[in-house]
Structure 1
Amino acid sequence: MNRIILILIIANVLVSLKGFNDFGFFEKYKFQVGSIRRGEKLRMFTSGFLHVDYLHLFLNMYALYLFGKVVAVNFGEINFLLIYFGSLLAGSMYSLYQHKNEYYYSAVGASGGVSGIIFSAILLYPDMSLIMLPIPIPLPGYVFGIGYLLYSIYGMKSNLGNIGHSAHLGGAIGGFALTLLLKPYIFTKEPMLVVIMGAIILGLLFFGDKINFKK
């Protein structure tokens, strides 16, 4: 395993375990709109190392392990960290924007950073086979990526489940943008994929406020 990925996993496990057993610690470092707007910006990063429970922690770390090694091999350690933490910040910023008037909205999890790594891997290898539950069949990476974007948009706009869809979506956008910035050859190698994903993202950013799936 790449040492940077191993360090990130260990850090997530240690901080999450501390949060599981120390309510005050969890409350102090989780993502919370009201606290962040009062100046506690560090929460936008520290919340990415906290998790709700063991399953939440395992799923994020397993995804980081699976996709992280692909990204680390192609980018090296410094740029891998840039994509991970840039995506984590993008997820937090997008969540803050979407919930800016919900002062008690809170969230935790590495999902923003992990989503960025997943999308980076998809851009590098769009034909990789992935499974998107509840569909129990392998899908090409580019289909998974487009489906992930659309599902996250739907989940965010309809408040589907107890999931931070906005952090997933913001992280995916961050990973998409940073990967193209660092590997611009992807524009010519996978132009249709870049155009389709870019169109969905731009449509969300410019017209997302008008989308409403609530009944």
Structure 2
Amino acid sequence: MNIFLIGIIAANIIFSLKGFDDISFFRKFEFHVGSIRSGEQIRMVSSAFLHADIPHLAFNMLTLYFFAPYVYENLGNLPFLLIYLASLIFGSLLTMIFHKDDYSYRAVGASGAVTGIVYSAILLESRIMIYGFIPGYLFGIIYLLYSIYGMKTKNDNIGHTAHFGGAIGGYAITLLEQPTLFSNNLMTVLILAIPIVILFVMAKQGKI
């Protein structure tokens, strides 16, 4: 297995297990808008290595495990790490933008970073099939449209905004790293941009 992937998964497991057993540790490093606005910006990164429970951790790490190879085998180790970290940060930044006035808002999980890797993989390998029968690009669109719905309705405890921010990060950095995608895979590039454009239009119109 790739050493960078091993390192990321190990960091998530170690940090999350510590958080499961130590609530003060969990509270100190979770994403919390009030604390971040008071100067604890480290939470914007540390929260992405904490998880709510074992299923949450397992789902994120398994998803990363299956999609990461498409990224580092196409782009290399350092770009893979860059996309992971940039997606993590994009997810936290977008969450802050949309929840900046909700001082009690809390979140944890690597979902933003992992979503960025998934989006990157779909860009790089347009023939990816999700669950064996759903085209990757179609899954990407549906997933982000559902994220917009979740951001708008706020009727669950899922960090939809972080997912969306992570997808934007993965999308943008992958295109910067592999600009030939604009000529070799333009249709997928344009299709995956649709939900991103919809989000920003809705935000500008105050509909989300």
Q: TM-score range by the shorter chain?
A: over 0.9
Q: What RMSD in Å do the two structures reach over aligned CA positions? A: 1.2
1:25-69 deviation digits (Å, cap 9, x = unpaired): 000000000111111111000000000000000000001100011
Letter in 2 for 1:202: V
Instruction: State the match for 2:111 in structure 1.
Output: 111
Letter in 2 for 1:182: E
Instruction: State the match for 1:102 in structure 2.
Output: 102
Identity among equivalent pairs (%): 51
Aligned partners of 2:101, 2:79: CA distance in 1, in Å? 34
3-state SS in 2 of match to 1:104: coil
CA contact (8 A) 2:84 2:116 kept: yes
Instruction: State the match for 1:168 in structure 2.
Output: 163
1:197 deviation in Å? 2.3
Aligned partners of 1:148, 1:94: CA distance in 2, in Å? 17
1:126-153 deviation digits (Å, cap 9, x = unpaired): 221103xxxxx72011111111111111
Instruction: State the match for 1:134 in structure 2.
Output: none
Moved more, 151-160 or 10-19: 151-160
Letter in 1 for 2:37: R
Instruction: State the match for 1:40 in structure 2.
Output: 40
Which of the numbers 203, 207, 211 marks the counterpart of 2:207?
211
Number of equivalences: 207
Moved more, 185-194 or 147-156: 185-194
- Which residues of structure 1 form unaligned runs of 5+? 132-136
| 2:147 equivalent to 1:152 | yes
Residues 115-154 of structure 1: pairs in structure 2 closer than 5 A: 115-131=115-131, 138-154=133-149
1:103-146 deviation digits (Å, cap 9, x = unpaired): 01000000111000000000011221103xxxxx7201111111
1:199 deviation in Å? 3.5
Instruction: State the match for 2:178 in structure 1.
Output: 183
1:211 deviation in Å? 2.7
| 2:58 equivalent to 1:63 | no
- Which residues of structure 2 form unaligned runs of 5+? none
Q: TM-score, normalised by structure 2?
A: 0.96
3-state SS in 2 of match to 1:72: helix
Instruction: State the match for 1:87 in structure 2.
Output: 87
CA contact (8 A) 2:137 2:192 kept: no
3-state SS in 2 of match to 1:89: helix
Letter in 2 for 1:28: K
1:188 deviation in Å? 1.1
Moved more, 111-120 or 72-81: 72-81
